[in-house]
Structure 1
Amino acid sequence: MRTNPLARKLATAASALALAASGLLLSSSPASAATSCYASSCTGLDPSTTVCQSDARTVRTSDWGVELRYSPTCRAAWARKTSGASADTVIRVSNTNGESRSVYYGGYGTVYTAMVNDKDIYAWACETRAYATLETHCTDSY
């Protein structure tokens, strides 16, 4: 059976439109919207909106459970707390360049700080609890 040339052209055009539409949908997906940064250009950025979260790993954990997270691709670090703190806790990440980012932890769920540069320098994460006495526990540096 032979196909009408006009029908073939219309089918080809429809396929091209479908492909273009699927490309638009894919390009607007959250994964492709992730920001790319490296070292000092990551400082202050939210790791969840960057490619840094893709290969992040916990490299240090304090005795109170605050974690130092590190992305080898981005050469950036941040602090994360998932549970086990009182409602008056501050989580902080710092580096040897004097950069620091912190977030208040209300005692529930997971919180994390913005990132700091960790290229060829050291970073560490701390948790400060303000109940009764001001007390801070930190990870070792990485």
Structure 2
Amino acid sequence: RPLNTGSELWLDGGHNPAAGRVLAAALADMEERHPKPLFLICGMLANKDAAGFLENFQGLATAVHTVPVPGEASGLPADRLAATARKLGFQSIAHDNAATAIAIIQNERPDHDVRIVICGSLYLAGAILKQSDYIPR
């Protein structure tokens, strides 16, 4: 189903602590100007510093929904990534894919505009673009 009219969906390929800092700073600026609950949908490779990436969003993200990186044998299982997020104090649940995560976020907040950011892996970003048939120019 489509997002609520005032909701936002962002896609970012950042996957390391430095990228997390930059993304979190940009989202904090957006939150200051146009407040909306922030939900991360995150998928990462197993060789990345998941805790170092996610800790940048403490106090900013309402929840972290985790997903596998499609087609990547070296992907971090979504349930392990969710456990890492919970250790950092986030509400977190693992899903099979980003579409399911988006639907659940919207079902939990049907009358509220939200900001959803899919992040954590360039491979995840590429898979999302491919699944959506969107080719950036």
TM-score (norm 1): 0.24
Larger Rg: 1
TM-score (norm 2): 0.24
